[in-house]
Amino acid sequence: MEPICMAFAKAQKTRSYFKGFQVQLKRRSQGKTDYRARIRLINQDKNKYNTPKYRFVVRFTNKNIIAQIVSASIAGDHVLAAAYSHELSHYGLEVGLTNYAAAYCTGLLLARRILKKLEIDEEYEGNVEATGEDYSVEPTESRRPFRVLLDVGLIRTTTGNRVFGALKGALDGGLDIPHGDKRFAGFKKDNKQLDPEVHRKYIYGGHVSAYMNSLMEDEPEKYQSHFSEFIKKGVEPDTIEEMYKKVHAAIRADSAQKKSEKKQPKEHKRYNLKKLTYEERKAKLVERLNALNSAKRNNDEDEDDDE
């Protein structure tokens, strides 16, 4: 049946359209999960029964980088360890929290954290000095390395994407992640080879300092506005590499999560309306009807008075 309306055109969405409409899976409709990829990442061999398959999840928000080690279960995914780029302020990094270098730091932090949790951090130091070369963990005598699979989510995997910065950080941190060097920053398609010098530059924020320098020369006003936070914290283009070296060292020294000193407020702030009870809703209705009736009565009285 077509809805009766004043349109001159034929109603497009009929009742039958709605009755036959199949909604997408929730997270697909929210545009957050790629189920095709997810099925392939999570699927564990049946003859391995309950052995968990871990994913190295990297997600970027506008101001943060989130790296997690997650295993899937029917009740819901279970996060083993997580690292956020806003934690990097504890290690001496306050600005540029979403660039390639920060992604490297976050990946590194997560790797050290999970290895510490699993008590193999001494055994698998990883690549202490970041050289930008392709590095894969070698299994030691006693315990095998911790294997995770990179989960990029919905991002476009182009060469030099920050996701691979995080991947590099995790690899250098000592995790075993199957990968190739094709998508690291500095891979030249012509040579089909990774240029470790270029990759190293990106890991230490060389591309950022180069841009800072070029802006300082050509457009100093844009430099002031674009890098205002850097200037405020006193980060100069020459000191960037040093800064990142220190952050890496600090992460390797102590990767434990620091509890924030803020106290939990006794009453949490409500972000949505509280649902009313049945009595409250009925009372509200009675109130509204009374108001309507009295307003009508006043109107009638006014009309009578006017006449």
Partner 1 sequence: MPAGHGLRSRTRDLFARAFRKKGPTHLTTYLRTYKVGDYVDVKVNGSIHKGMPHKFYHGRTGRVWNVTKRAIGVEVNKQVGNRIIKKRLHVRVEHVQPSRCHEDILLRIKKNDQLKAEAKAQGKIISTKRQPEGPKPGFMVVEGALLETVTPIPYDVVNDLKGGY
Tell me how far the alpha carbon of residue 194 is from its chain's centroid: 27
**Region 39-58 residues binding partner 1, contact defined as CB under 8 A:** 39, 42-47, 49-50
Q: Count the site residues for partner 1 by CB under 8 A.
A: 21
Q: CB 132 → partner 1: shortest distance, Å?
A: 37
Q: Which is nearer to partner 1, 4 or 25 (CB)?
A: 25
The residue written with tokens 């009929």 in the block is: 14
Residue 174 CA from chain centroid, whole number: 22
Helix axes 162-173, 196-203, angle to 10 degrees: 90
Element (H, E) at 254: none
Question: With binding defined as CB under 8 A, does residue 73 bind partner 1?
Answer: yes
Residue 208: how many CB atoms within 10 A of its CB?
A: 23
Kindly tell me which of 33 and 213 has the beta carbon lying closer to partner 1. Answer: 33
Length of the chain: 307
**The amino acid at 48:** K
CA distance 4 to 297: 34
Binding region for partner 1 (CB under 8 A) out of 38-46, 82-90, 117-125, 287-295 = 38-46
Can residue 35 be called a binding residue for partner 1 (CB under 8 A)?
yes
Q: Does 18 bind partner 1 (CB under 8 A)?
A: no
Q: Name residue 55's beta-bridge partners.
A: 70, 149
Applying CB under 8 A, does 74 fall inside the site for partner 1? yes
Partnered with residue 151 across adjacent β-strands are 57
Residue 72 touches partner 1, criterion: CB under 8 A: yes
Contacts of 248 (CB under 8 A, 6+ apart): 105, 108, 130
Nearest one of 115, 211, 99 to 163, comparing CA atoms: 99
DSSP code at position 282: H
CB of 204 to partner 1, least distance (A): 40
Residues 168-207 that bind partner 1 (CB under 8 A): none
End-to-end CA distance of the chain: 48
| Least CB distance to partner 1 at residue 26 (A) | 11
The answer to whether 116 contacts partner 1 (rule: CB under 8 A) is no
Nearer to partner 1, 35 or 296 (CB): 35
- Closest separation between CB of residue 24 and partner 1, Å? 8
Q: How far is the CB of 51 from partner 1 (least distance, A)?
A: 10
Residue 55 or 113 with smaller CB distance to partner 1: 55
Contact status: 20 vs partner 1 (CB under 8 A): yes
Which spans of this chain sit near partner 1 (rule: CB under 8 A)? 20-22, 24-25, 28, 35-36, 38-39, 42-47, 49-50, 72-74
